[in-house]
Amino acid sequence: MTMAAPEATPRRQQPDAPLVDTHVHVFRKGMPLIPDPRHTPSYEFTAEQLQATLDEHGVKLCVIAAASPWGDCNDYIAQSLREHPLWRGTAILEPSTSRHELEQLARDGMVGVRLPFISLRQLPDLDTWEYRRFLWRLADLDWHVHLHLDGPRIPQVLPQLERSGVKIVIDHIGRPDPVLREKCAGFEAVVRSVEKGRTWVKLSGGYRLGAHSAALAQELCRQVGYERMLWASDCPFVGVESTTYQSTIDWLDQAVPDPRNRRILDRNAIDLYFSGARAGR
């Protein structure tokens, strides 16, 4: 399957389009896949295709999230960040990553580490020396951890992350249990974590979460407000490529109908991802 780059000419004026997309992916054909990946894309979605997509929809800034099929092969993301000063990124890294390597990635434009724990049958012990050292380094660099995990298991790792002092970003509304929804223990844990003031949540992945996703986003915002909420498209929708970028903007309009609150999401993203200059620049 080959995804053609959309035309860069804006399709239409979108005065209420989001300013910041906090979760997109880029990858090239031939990049090495990890053993037994969750997805095996046969196409590429390049930085040029991403830029054209953003331009088409009036989105000015973005954050590239490392995708789990390629593990810690962050090379193309780092290259893309170096070439696009209005982009930031989160890397997938082993906890043994040195401070020197982290500082170089910061110069490239990385601002956090993605923990794709949803792929793991057994979760790692974040209380080990290796993970405690890793999380301390991330907190010391003012990075965040970007947690991707199914909601029922979020309570197994969130307390350790909170104790580490690192900033936390939760993917896809915390992916609560599709039956329990807001009664899911993970959803409740996310609410408590946001209330502590160092956790943000991405209102994203609605197309992966089912018919109640917008209602879940509304309920989360009802309980904790908008000051720790972010929006993301998850483009190019790996595994559900029939999704369109515009549909994710339309979903946001449904989940957060007041444009004043959607502007808060943009300000949150700018403060979290873009407020500090790239290290060493």
Pairwise CA distance, residues 252 & 203, whole Å: 8
Could you read off the pLDDT of 224-255 as tens digits, one per residue? 999 999 999 999 999 898 999 999 999 999 99
Closest C-alpha to 207, from 153, 160, 246, 149:
246
Could you read off the pLDDT of 33-68 as tens digits, one per residue? 989 888 888 899 999 999 999 999 999 999 999 999
Mean pLDDT of the chain: 92
Closest C-alpha to 65, from 226, 237, 218:
237
Per-domain boundaries in the chain = 20-274
Contact of 216 with 176, CB cutoff 8 Å: yes
Asked if pLDDT for residue 13 goes beyond 60, the answer is: no
Banded model confidence at residue 281, pLDDT cuts 50, 70, 90: very low
DSSP string, 192-206: HHHHTTSEEEEE--H
Q: How far is CA 212 from CA 175, 206, 254, in A?
A: 11, 8, 11
* Mean of pLDDT values over 144-167: 97
CATH 3.30.2130.10 fits 20-274, yes or no: no
Asked if pLDDT for residue 272 goes beyond 60, the answer is: yes
Kind and range of the H or E element at 112?
strand 110-115
